[in-house]
Structure 1
Amino acid sequence: MTMTRRRFLKNIVYSVLGFLGLSGGGYYYARYMEPAMLTTQTHTWNHPKIPTSFNQVKIVQFSDIHLGFHYSIDQFKDLIQKLKAEKPDLLVFTGDLVDEPQRYHFSSEIPSLLNELEAPLGKFWIYGNHDHGGYGTEKLEAVMSKGGFTLLKNEVTELRKDGESISLAGLDDIMLGSPNISGTLNQLNDDTFSILLVHEPDIADRVKDYPVDVQLSGHSHGGQVRIPVIGSMVTPPYGEKYVDGKHLISDRLTLYISRGIGTTRMPYRFLCKPEYSVYTLSSNP
């Protein structure tokens, strides 16, 4: 197989980061400073199908914490306080709570902290690939359930407010789970505003064939390390085409990708600050 120029450049950068590190202040910034610079991305969804009763409803998405890989329980505590301060109406977690479930010690603090989060329309989560890895499937389900979160595994739920509703769907992880794309998304109604949670963003190219209005994903970490001219260095499978931000996939489907909270593969972030996202619904024309 012929190595492309882009792949060749990526391999060079991986080698530099892995064996030599970023030099001087650059290394210190990427290793210790930027990974702690948690930011908030805010978006307003103005859509004719959003019911009047859902006007100004606030949805908070967080993703890819990767506890255990250079992300501590103390950092997790700080994150919980920031999420609480947002006072979300709906809270969604789009996967990868722990980096290596088979090695991580799940303390009772984790579900206790998750239980501190409140959202009147519910707290929902989906599996990421790391959540299924290392026999973590059952462990993560138990932890998140004790934390008051509802798993959406190839399921659709209706969120109701003042007699009106929107749809929230969730798929099992694309890489290591058993996603049922058609069986799940065919349950959605064309006339009802619908949101899909799926860990891997690139699946949007298949999701666009179904009645989904918004897809929320994580997985890519936004590229995690961005080198000017070269681009994003951490682009996992199903997170290579759509890496960060907002993408109009079709006339109907809009994709939003969270850069996530923690790191994976390498404990660096460079020109790619961690984030959680706040979405405000608007029913105004």
Structure 2
Amino acid sequence: MVSDLSRRFPNRSTLNRAALATAGAAALGVGYASLIERNAFALREATMPVLAPGSATLRVLHISDLHMMPNQKLKQNWLRELDRLDPDLVVNTGDNLSHMKSVPAVVQSMGGLLARPGLFVFGSNDYFAPKPKNPMKYFKKEHRRVLGAPLPWADLRAAFTERGWLDVTHVHRELEVAGVRIDAAGVDDPHLQRDRYDTIAGPPNPLAQLKLGITHSPEPRVLDRFADDGYDLVLAGHTHGGQLCLPFYGALVTNCQLDRSRVKGPSRWGAHTRLHVSAGVGTSPYAPARFCCRPEATLLTLVPAPREETTSGRGSAAVESAVLGR
């Protein structure tokens, strides 16, 4: 009988070895996520059919969620290299700061990109510093926001606008870039309930070849408004792509009301509007880890939409799949 029980139940030394192995694997995972993948910056590329028929191709660099700390030299050097991509337009969807002294680091990191046409809105971590929080709160879509000390967002805004970038917070901006006429509008951060879509409500200029919506957090209530008004493309950040993801499953949370299937990359929102969510470049200093979700910027190649889609609001599934690379 004793022999049978021994075979059925592992002894204490076996349990100890299993516990040590589990702890070791967990330590390796944490080390990889915090030391390696968090700094394994990547460039994502995607082609999106959103322009009016006959338009020239437009290359847009979408950057988001830098969460910059002054001493993050590796991140700063990688960002400076992005200017070599020679984008026609840069769109920054917020959360640039994580420290009171981060503005110079962000500006220097943007480098030559600030000499290119640019559009931006801000996110919560442009206005307020991050604070430690219980990570389990991210699994509750409705939870009390924990805000830190005010950050020098006005200084960052001045630095961007002095170099020619346009703040699209609650305003329309019309510009021509690389031969493409753009009507762009944005909202303040929906994550903090600062969005006031009514200030930009209504259809954009019908003569624009690209009708572009910009927001930090991709909250469905805001995306619906952009789609209802006829925007071709909406750019957002905030989600960090889930930040900590599982193989073959993906993101555990989105940190907003957006569903997990759209947590990063291109997708559709309604019949006509496309959405692109950046997985972002950084992390909060209080959660400095990424797993199965590398930090990234995205080079979007915008091309004319199929003619049947521009007339009916629907494109063929085959065209959609081919162009989005799915």
Partner of 2:125, secondary structure, is helix
2:244 is equivalent to residue 244 of structure 1: no
Contact conserved, 1:195 with 1:212, CA < 8 A, in 2? yes
Q: Name the residue aligned to 1:280.
A: 301
TM-score, normalisation: structure 1 = 0.79
Q: 1:110 to 1:246 in 2, by over 3 A?
A: closer
In structure 1, list runs of 5 or more residues that go unmatched: 1-19
Cα distance change on mapping 1:277 and 1:246 into 2, 3 Å: same
Partner of 2:150: 135
The equivalent of 1:117 in structure 2 is: 113
Alignment check: 8 A CA contact 1:47 1:282 kept: yes
How do 1:169-180 and structure 2 match up within 5 A?
A: 169-176=185-192, 178-180=194-196
Within the alignment, does 1:195 sit opposite 2:212 as a pair? yes
- Contact preservation (8 Å) 1:259, 1:274: yes
CA distance in 2, matches of 1:76, 1:48: 32
Please state whether the residue corresponding to 2:190 is helix, strand or coil. coil
**Pair 1:198–1:259, CA change in 2 (3 A):** same
Alignment-mate amino acid for residue 111 of structure 1: V
2:52–2:304 contact (8 Å) kept in structure 1: yes
Match of 1:255 among 258, 267, 275: 275
In structure 2, what is the equivalent of residue 58 of structure 1?
59
Is 2:68–2:105's contact at 8 Å kept on the other side of the alignment? no
Of 96, 101, 104, the match for 1:105: 101
Partner Cα separation in structure 1 for residue 291 and residue 181 of structure 2: 41
Distance 1:229 1:80, change over 3 A: closer
Q: Which residue is equivalent to 1:4?
A: none
Cα distance, 1:231–1:47 mapped onto 2, change above 3 Å: closer
Match of 2:182 among 154, 163, 166: 166
**Aligned 1:218-233 pairs, distance under 5 A:** 218-228=237-247, 231-233=250-252
Distance 1:274 1:119, change over 3 A: same
Q: Deviations over 1:81-119 (max 9, x none)?
A: 3211111110111100112x4xx2246454344343255
User: SS of 1:30's equivalent?
Assistant: helix
Question: Unaligned regions of 5+ residues in structure 2, if any?
Answer: 1-22, 129-148, 307-326
Shift of the 127–108 alpha-carbon distance from structure 1 to 2, 3 Å rule, reads: closer
Worse-superposed segment, 109-118 or 23-32: 109-118
Listed one character per residue, the Cα deviations across residues 218-270 of structure 1 (whole Å, up to 9, x for unaligned) are 00000000134765245323455542222211111111110000112511100
Instruction: Check the 8 A contact 2:34/2:290 in 1, yes or no.
Output: yes
Deviations along 1:111-147, one digit per CA (max 9) or x if unpaired, are 3443432554x12211111112232342432343355
Q: 1:50 to 1:156 in 2, by over 3 A?
A: farther
Matched, 1:208 2:195: no
Q: Distance in 2 between matches of 1:226 and 1:284?
A: 32
C-alpha offsets along residues 62-87 of structure 1, whole Å, 9 cap, x if unaligned?
1001012xx83413431333211111
Deviation at 1:154, TM superposition (A): 0.8
Higher helix proportion: 2
Root-mean-square deviation (Å): 2.8
Is the 8 Å Cα contact of residues 132 and 176 (structure 1) preserved in structure 2?
no
User: For the Cα contact (< 8 Å) 1:84–1:118, is it kept in 2?
Assistant: no
- Counterparts in 2 of 1:246 and 1:62: CA distance versus 1, 3 Å: same
Distance 1:213 1:191, change over 3 A: same
- Provide the C-alpha distance between the structure 1 equivalents of 2:195 and 2:27, rounded to a whole number of angstroms: 45
Q: 1:33 to 1:163 in 2, by over 3 A?
A: closer
Structure 1 residues 258, 36: closer, same or farther in 2, change over 3 A? same
| Alpha carbons of structure 1 residues 128 and 261: separation in structure 2 relative to 1, 3 Å | same
Decide whether the 8 Å contact of 1:185 with 1:212 is kept in 2.
Answer: no
Q: Single out whichever of 182-191 and 214-223 deviates more from structure 2.
A: 182-191
* Runs of 4+ residues deviating >4 angstroms: 161-164, 228-231, 238-241
Matched position secondary structure for 1:160: strand
- In the aligned structure 2, how far is the partner of 1:230 from the partner of 1:72? 34
Name which of 22, 27, 30 aligns with 1:24: 27
Cα distance between partner residues in 2 of 1:129 and 1:28: 28
3-state SS of paired residue (2:110): helix
Show the counterpart of 1:6: none
Decide whether the 8 Å contact of 1:95 with 1:199 is kept in 2: yes
